[in-house]
Amino acid sequence: MAKTKTTFFCQNCGSQYAKWLGQCSSCNEWNTIVEEVIQKEEKRSWKQNNAPKKAAKALKIDNIVLNEEDRIHTQNNELNRVLGGGIVRGSLILLGGEPGIGKSTLSLQVALAIEKNVLYVSGEESQSQIKMRAERLKNNNSNCHILTETKTQNIFKNLEEVQPDLVVIDSIQTLHTDSIEASPGSISQIRETTAELIKFAKETSTPILLIGHINKEGHIAGPKILEHMVDVVLQFEGDRNHTYRILRAQKNRFGSTAELGIYEMQSTGLREVDNPSEILISQKDESLSGTAISATLEGMRPLMIEVQALVSTAVYGTPQRSATGYDLKRLNMLLAVLEKRAGFRLGAKDVFLNITGGIKVDDPAIDLAVVSAILSSNEDDAIPQIFCFAAEIGLAGEIRPINRVEQRILEAEKLGFEKIFISKYNKLSKPFNGIEIVLISRIEELYDNLFA
């Protein structure tokens, strides 16, 4: 066994130092560097009796044979969409999210629904607790094995016996290995246990789903290199006061990172939402001022979302600007455009903006709906519920074209909207008979069509 060695790690970014420092030179955080004792073993493989491998040879790019990835269907359409078609064999998937958001529930649902041999490893719950959750989910997979263990060497022994097609680890912060002497959840333990799991996954072509905790800043706890080591990084988002959850891909080596999965948290688990537009638009009997519907895109999926705005006279000296689910800086920019280019006096008024459903949107195509909702609240005149909007607004007050506008128009037509406002600079390849298309180029034209 090698000699015991002491090193210093930054608990925020994972940078390594030979001595203690007050400030980390990588992330500039103070008092985050701690001392850890590392005891390296000569054999650090997940399988101790591995035979030495031959050195890899360099190949010309023309001589490399391209094989299609073998994917495992998870029986969960939303997860399959975000992953790009399923779980690729031999890949590592890191799932992060707030405490209580539903990470363990989603992972157990996948483990119970998939028609494969699955090993579910938990370092946080007992086997009886997992059994109780499985009964609540009303799903049963006789090939799902439950293991409560935190030591990686014992986990690998069970993996050799079970030989699963999918491994679920809940969570990576609870694991520890004998290769180093450090507490579970520390920077060095997370890095070392992940490296062992990656070696196992690549050598056996067994996919592993890792659940990761997040810190107070909203990032996955542990070293930043953890996200670089894995193949896919998924973020499970949502407001605990709302029932809807959103699954996003922050990194995906086997597919797009623009896709979106939406779930509804119920007492029996997470329900897939096939038509998100119905849940993102409020159901109301009468038209109210300050609301507008926008046609946006998340990956390949078109969504119809409701934008709510409230404009009122500022009670205090400084007007308030608040945005929920929308970029506050972009809201200030649109208010400045309305003031400077269109002549609307909003500088002395409070403006509050909300994207319904508890989701966050960064698509610039909702600019026109944001401006329409603000003008509607300012005029106290409701926009008809059969109108929707899809365009970007520039600093000169012009209505700019957006991409894939025909897909947005088709979604609006399918949901029963009768009129959609887009930029006149968008080129349409075919006519639309089921919905009226209004082409505008300036904010003044928008105001004339809605409130004149």
SS3 state at 122: strand
What does the pLDDT read at residue 438? 94
Q: Annotated binding residue at 218?
A: no
Residue 418 labelled as part of a binding site: no
Beta-strand relationship, 118-122 and 144-148: parallel
Mean pLDDT of residues grouped by 10 in the chain (452 residues)?
Answer: 70 82 88 73 53 74 82 90 91 91 92 91 92 86 89 93 93 87 81 91 93 82 84 86 84 87 88 79 77 88 91 86 94 94 88 88 93 95 93 94 92 90 91 91 93 82
Decide: residue 45, CB within 10 A, 0-12 exposed, 13-18 middle, 19+ buried: middle
Q: Any idea what DSSP says for residue 176? A: B
Is 96 known to sit in a ligand binding site? no
What one-character-per-residue DSSP string does 366-404 give? Answer: GHHHHHHHHHHHHHT-PPPTTEEE--EE-TTSBEE--SS
Q: What is the pLDDT of residue 448?
A: 92
pTM of this prediction?
A: 0.76
Res 14: pLDDT: 77
Is 102 annotated for ligand binding?
yes
The answer to whether 104 is annotated as binding is yes
pLDDT at 429: 86
As a whole number of angstroms, the distance between CA 193 and CA 172 comes to 8
| The pLDDT of residue 40 | 52
Tokens representing 81 are 């969409």
Burial class (CB in 10 A: 0-12, 13-18, 19+), 75: middle
Has 98 been labeled as part of a binding site?
A: yes
Nearest to 252 by CA among 79, 65, 13, 14: 79
Bridge partners of 114, per DSSP, are: none
The pLDDT value given to residue 52: 58
